[in-house]
């Protein structure tokens, strides 16, 4: 019954978020519509050569002066279906609420959560761009029906927590992330904390850019006891595992909302509406 995970846990805790891979977004595409069909649709019924010259492309005029091809038309139809599918799986139009007194402010893909606790102002910011980790497992098995056991897309953005004391000149800034596990995708025991602190520094209040000259504490080689105190410090200010879970839910909903918005804009752009 040997089950020793401490070394693995330590390793996993050190992993930084990896950049978004193309496979992550590909998961979003409805499995019923494989890639080959998209290519086929663009080709049209009479199968013109894919490498044909521009002059050979059939065009449709709409009076805007821009180029419109049969491919654009197929693209528009594809987007229409995609938007319909995405809206169907969208759990809720409204964004999920965060527990506690957090106020949400949105600026494009960036979200800011703020609350005041007995004089301490706590601000959490994150960006939904590149917040979906690559899927490490096989997405679809041979012979699997479309939509069966499809992995759910979850957004786990890096986030920054700023704690500012009343009349303080500096904020204590925590750079946090959702660690990805190198192991533990099987039985689920070998995992990292739900969220982790990567760096800590002091930054002047109210300044847009961080000062590179400020000392930055990296948690990679930190005394564990100090790390635990920092985690408790955040928990006392409402940033704990529950918060991290809710932030991920919020970010997932926001990301999906922005994705649909992007598809709609893309559809509109392609159609030249």
Partner 1 sequence: MGVVLRNLQTVVPVRRARLRRDVETLRHILGIQKFDLGLICVDNRRIQRINNIYRKKDSPTDVLSFPFYEDLRPGKLPCALHRDELNLGDVFLGVEYLMHQCSDTSQDLHGALTVVTAHGICHLLGYRHETEEEWKEMLQKESYILTEFNRLTGSRLVPLTKRCTEEKANLK
Strands 159-164 and 196-204: what pairing? unpaired
Q: What is the DSSP letter of 177?
A: E
Fill in the per-residue mask, 164 to 203: x = in contact with partner 1 (CB under 8 A), - = not in contact. -----------------------xxx-xxxx---------
Residue pair 124/160 in contact (Cβ under 8 Å)? The answer is yes
Find where tokens 């005029």 sit: 61
Residue 65: burial class (beta carbons within 10 Å; 0-12, 13-18, 19+)? exposed
In the list 144, 229, 261, 262, the residue contacting partner 1 (rule: CB under 8 A) is 229
Find where tokens 């994150």 sit: 126
Q: How far is the CB of 119 from partner 1 (least distance, A)?
A: 22
Q: How far is the CB of 89 from partner 1 (least distance, A)?
A: 25
Note whether 221 binds partner 1 by CB under 8 A: no
Q: How far is the CB of 225 from partner 1 (least distance, A)?
A: 6
Residue 199: burial class (beta carbons within 10 Å; 0-12, 13-18, 19+)? middle
- State the sign of the Cα–Cα–Cα–Cα dihedral 87, 91, 94, 97: negative
In the list 9, 24, 173, 253, the residue contacting partner 1 (rule: CB under 8 A) is 9
In the list 80, 242, 249, 260, the residue contacting partner 1 (rule: CB under 8 A) is 242
In the list 137, 138, 167, 224, the residue contacting partner 1 (rule: CB under 8 A) is 224
Q: Which is nearer to partner 1, 189 or 265 (CB)?
A: 189
Note whether 2 binds partner 1 by CB under 8 A: yes
In the list 232, 265, 268, 269, the residue contacting partner 1 (rule: CB under 8 A) is 232
Note whether 220 binds partner 1 by CB under 8 A: no
Residue 12: burial class (beta carbons within 10 Å; 0-12, 13-18, 19+)? buried
DSSP letters, 216-264, are: EEEGGG--HHHHHHHHHHHHHTT-SHHHHHHHHHHHHHHHHHHHHHHHH
Note whether 10 binds partner 1 by CB under 8 A: yes
Fill in the per-residue mask, 245 to 264: x = in contact with partner 1 (CB under 8 A), - = not in contact. x-------------------
Q: How far is the CB of 52 from partner 1 (least distance, A)?
A: 56
Please tell me whether residue 123 adopts helix, strand or coil conformation.
strand
Note whether 7 binds partner 1 by CB under 8 A: yes
Q: How many residues bind partner 1 (CB under 8 A)?
A: 28
| Residue-wise burial string across 74-85, b where 16 or more C-beta atoms lie within 10 A, e elsewhere | bbbebbeebbeb
**Contact residues for partner 1 (CB under 8 A)?**
1-7, 9-10, 13, 187-189, 191-194, 224-225, 228-229, 231-232, 235, 240-242, 245
């Amino acid at each position: 019954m040997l089950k020793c995970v401490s070394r693995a846990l330590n390793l996993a805790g050190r992993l930084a978020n990896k950049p978004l891979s193309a496979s992550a977004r590909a998961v979003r595409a409805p499995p019923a519509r494989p890639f080959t069909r998209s290519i086929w649709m663009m080709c049209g019924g009479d199968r013109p050569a894919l490498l044909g010259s521009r002059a050979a492309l059939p065009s449709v005029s709409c009076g805007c002066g821009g180029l419109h091809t049969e491919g654009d038309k197929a693209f528009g139809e594809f987007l229409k279906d995609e938007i319909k599918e995405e809206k169907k799986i969208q759990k809720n139009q409204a964004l999920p609420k965060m527990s506690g007194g957090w106020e949400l402010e949105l600026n494009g893909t960036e979200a800011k959560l703020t609350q005041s606790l007995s004089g301490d102002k706590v601000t959490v910011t994150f960006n939904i761009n590149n917040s979906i980790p690559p899927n490490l497992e096989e997405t679809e098995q041979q012979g699997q029906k479309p939509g069966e056991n499809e992995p759910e897309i979850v957004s786990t953005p890096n986030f920054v927590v700023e704690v500012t004391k009343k009349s303080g000149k500096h904020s204590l800034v925590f750079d946090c992330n959702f660690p990805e596990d190198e192991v533990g995708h099987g039985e689920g025991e070998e995992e990292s904390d739900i969220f982790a602190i990567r760096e800590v520094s002091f930054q002047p209040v109210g300044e847009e850019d961080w000062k590179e000259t400020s000392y930055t504490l990296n948690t990679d080689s930190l005394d564990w006891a100090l790390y635990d105190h920092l985690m408790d410090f955040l928990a006392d200010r409402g940033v704990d595992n529950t918060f991290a879970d809710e932030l991920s839910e919020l970010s997932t909903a926001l990301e999906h909302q922005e994705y649909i918005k992007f598809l709609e804009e893309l559809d509109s752009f392609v159609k030249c509406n």
